[in-house]
Structure 1
């Protein structure tokens, strides 16, 4: 199975909802065979989507931030991430993390008894994620099913049917081991605080070029500076100012890869008032100077174009 190279940068709207369509209306399921080393910062950045997500750590170690949790998962483990939960995952080095996303309606029609009885309760409950490890019998079974689903994608004969069957079996296993009391606890209690966090993130994304302060960021959600700090630490395991710097660097990286603007211009356009600080910080996060990063991206583009020409 070849690595996903066409989709290695998360695109979101102002609410942090991922904008790419996974699968299609006829078949709302999509597999991604990801190597985190191919992502900027070795990271699938903050986002959420209506789809359920299952991730299997095939090689290496990956750190997951899901809702309020931070989890380190090693080779052979996996995780389920619930619908509409803000999440992010990262690896310091090499990590192969095949993952698949599916709309709840992939499992059953929204107006069916199956959906209302077995799918909607998990989708709406306070469970943001479930980790699977081989030491627990039912979780080991879940991991085996995930691997069968990954394997099924290699067949053209009956891939869709087998995928649906195995995914329903995986969901059944998940449902059987959900505590009935947990299913009755709805997610509304955390919606407000997560919404405020998303408002502050949105403000950063729209105004990162300006000289923003913690007070400015907190004001957008009408909370105090201390509450803003607590919300970012709770959901993003970061501070607002540090998140702002990382977002500026990501935007600078896009300009370096897609334009011929001078580095001094890019530095200013992305909110860095000091050129030396920009270059030093960029190298800290990307492992390359801005010039080296631009050169590497250009080489990667030339290589891809060469491959396409050979195929044609």
Structure 2
């Protein structure tokens, strides 16, 4: 089975284009299990996202929170919120991602009064519980939107009408004042996290230390550890190794370099250590990975 992957830029912003400039709306009838490592990895986007769990269970990580989503429930992810989904088995999770401009044009009264307060609020996400009346109504509308997309007919006007109906429920019931100081802390931490991640992306080929990573964001080593672990659940050094491995995997697919050269070029001083870490991450050797990608060359691989 061919797996899907989440493609992001250096800030973890998702690179996928959701819909088009004329109609910025996209429907994804996804199964989280079919993604690389059975997860939709860390990403964010300016668009709004609504997801419904039609089958299975999913762990959603949003900011510092870990949310268990069960069959029949859903979630709204606000604009600009870093999030990730994980599954332990098949988890059918259809979702829609769309620009706020579909709800109201920017700089209009409707946008200022009903759309921007949610986007700029302290609420990174909203759980959608089928046992709470207004949230159950949103889930019902969401399922109707999905059915409309699957019918394959012209449905843009009806889709936008239902998005507005759903948004009216959401904006009318969300507690937009709760946790405002918490969101400011999250925004500060996310900015620091992205600075450190950018430092890693720029210097991964070099021998860099935790102290240097922390210093790039004017933090102590313990501060850097806390922000990484609360933000994306791993340490800075673990993220550095994962990023190096991802760069190595790309070189194995696109170049004819030896494995030892790839290891050296991606910041691994010890080829044996690189081979062990590569197998742990990809569940196959570097040579097997290269062969799977169609690069068959007569160079000794680990």
Q: Distance in 1 between matches of 2:2 and 2:163?
A: 21
1:225 correspondence with 2:221: yes
1:292 correspondence with 2:283: no
1:103-142 equivalences in 2 (<5 Å): 103-142=99-138
Once the two structures are TM-superposed, the CA of residue 4 in structure 1 deviates from its matched residue by 10
Alignment gaps of 5+ in structure 2: 296-302
1:203 corresponds to which residue? Answer: 199
The worse-fitting range, judged by mean Cα deviation, of 230-239 and 288-297 is 288-297
Over 3 Å counting, the alpha-carbon distance change for 1:185 and 1:112 in structure 2 is: farther
1:190 correspondence with 2:186: yes
1:243 corresponds to which residue? Answer: 239
1:31 corresponds to which residue? Answer: 27
2:139 corresponds to which residue? Answer: 143
Contact 1:204–1:244 (CA<8 Å) still a contact in 2? yes
Q: Distance in 2 between matches of 1:69 and 1:104?
A: 24
The worse-fitting range, judged by mean Cα deviation, of 175-184 and 57-66 is 175-184
Contact 2:62–2:82 (CA<8 Å) still a contact in 1? yes
The worse-fitting range, judged by mean Cα deviation, of 76-85 and 250-259 is 250-259
CA RMSD of aligned residues (A): 2.5
1:74 correspondence with 2:70: yes
1:176 correspondence with 2:172: yes
| Matched residue SS, 2:40 | strand
The worse-fitting range, judged by mean Cα deviation, of 44-53 and 184-193 is 184-193
Q: Distance in 1 between matches of 2:112 and 2:35?
A: 37
Q: 1:152 aligns with which of 135, 141, 148?
A: 148
| Matched residue SS, 1:59 | coil
**1:158-178: CA deviation from partner (whole Å, max 9, x where unpaired):** 321121122112111211221
**1:198-230: CA deviation from partner (whole Å, max 9, x where unpaired):** 100111122222222110110110111111111
Q: Distance in 2 between matches of 1:269 and 1:35?
A: 35
Contact 1:232–1:239 (CA<8 Å) still a contact in 2? yes
1:10-89 equivalences in 2 (<5 Å): 10-89=6-85
Give the TM-score taking structure 1 as reference length. Answer: 0.85
Contact 2:122–2:177 (CA<8 Å) still a contact in 1? no
Once the two structures are TM-superposed, the CA of residue 117 in structure 1 deviates from its matched residue by 1.1
Q: 1:271 aligns with which of 264, 267, 273?
A: 267
Q: 1:254 aligns with which of 247, 250, 261?
A: 250
**1:81-132: CA deviation from partner (whole Å, max 9, x where unpaired):** 1101112222244333222211111111112222111110000011001122
Over 3 Å counting, the alpha-carbon distance change for 1:255 and 1:42 in structure 2 is: farther
State how many pairs are aligned: 295
Over 3 Å counting, the alpha-carbon distance change for 1:182 and 1:57 in structure 2 is: same
Once the two structures are TM-superposed, the CA of residue 184 in structure 1 deviates from its matched residue by 7.6
Q: Distance in 1 between matches of 2:218 and 2:140?
A: 47
Contact 1:41–1:285 (CA<8 Å) still a contact in 2? no
The worse-fitting range, judged by mean Cα deviation, of 182-191 and 159-168 is 182-191
Once the two structures are TM-superposed, the CA of residue 148 in structure 1 deviates from its matched residue by 1.6
Q: Distance in 1 between matches of 2:2 and 2:101?
A: 25
